[in-house]
């Protein structure tokens, strides 16, 4: 279970009478930890990278999205912890609300920590490696804090592919053409209210 106030920031930013996003608290963790990468067409188009840790989704906004090339260092800016249910969220956040815009689930799956000791502690210390088993993303990745920290400075992290057999050059995704791993839909189709092309 997440700590009692783990979602306080998430709740504080949203009016659940006005946003279709989940309020959270209804799902218990099951099986191994999950990850999700969403594409979010908000005031700026970006990817949101989320890892299930201790009953919440630890979250980073990644402007360019993950790369399969170990030479690419992708800026990842921490955002508030999200509820586990958010991993399934795909839809349109009402214009004018926090994060207003369209969200699709670009990739999802399980992950396995590659660093020793409690994973939450590794993140607190500013470095964690993990192995992704997604529909699109595979292999080892690292998240490393490069700026800021517990003193309240704005944090910056880097999301980098580790050198392994799943590494590949020139792996970038056009977020406007990308299809949801969930529904098969593009941002534009979800915004238009299209029915899923996959069950």
**Which residues here bind Mn ion, judged by CB under 5 A?**
40, 48
Distance CA 183, CA 198 (A): 5
Nearer to Mn ion, 37 or 122 (CB): 37
Look at phi and psi of residue 91 and say left if phi exceeds 0, alpha if psi is from -120 to 50, else beta: left
CB of 174 to Mn ion, least distance (A): 18
CB of 107 to Mn ion, least distance (A): 15
Nearer to Mn ion, 40 or 74 (CB): 40
Nearer to Mn ion, 53 or 104 (CB): 104
Nearer to Mn ion, 20 or 32 (CB): 20
Closest residue by beta carbon to Mn ion = 40
* 3-state DSSP assignment of residue 190: helix
59 has which bridge partners?
A: 50, 79
- The two tokens of residue 123 are 């993140």
* 3-state DSSP assignment of residue 9: helix
CB of 116 to Mn ion, least distance (A): 31
CB of 39 to Mn ion, least distance (A): 9
Give me the helices (H) in the chain, please: 8-12, 119-124, 187-191
């Amino acid at each position: 279970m997440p700590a009692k106030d783990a979602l306080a920031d998430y709740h504080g930013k949203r009016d659940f009478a006005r946003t279709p996003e989940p309020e959270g608290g209804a799902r218990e963790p099951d099986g191994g930890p999950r990850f999700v990468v969403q594409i979010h067409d908000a005031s700026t188009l970006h990817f949101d990278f989320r890892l299930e840790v201790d009953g919440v989704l630890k979250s980073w906004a990644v402007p360019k999205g993950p790369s399969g090339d170990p030479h690419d260092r992708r800026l990842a800016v921490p955002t508030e912890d999200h509820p586990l249910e958010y991993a399934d969220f795909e839809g349109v956040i009402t214009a004018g609300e926090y994060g207003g815009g369209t969200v699709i689930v670009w990739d999802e799956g399980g992950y396995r920590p590659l660093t020793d000791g409690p994973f939450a502690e590794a993140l607190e210390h500013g470095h964690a490696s993990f192995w992704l088993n997604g529909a699109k993303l595979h292999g080892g990745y690292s998240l490393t804090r490069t700026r800021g920290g517990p003193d309240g400075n704005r944090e910056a992290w880097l999301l980098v592919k580790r050198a392994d057999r799943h590494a590949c050059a020139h792996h970038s995704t056009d977020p406007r053409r990308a299809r949801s791993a969930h529904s098969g839909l593009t941002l534009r189709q979800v915004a238009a209210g299209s029915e899923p092309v996959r069950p």
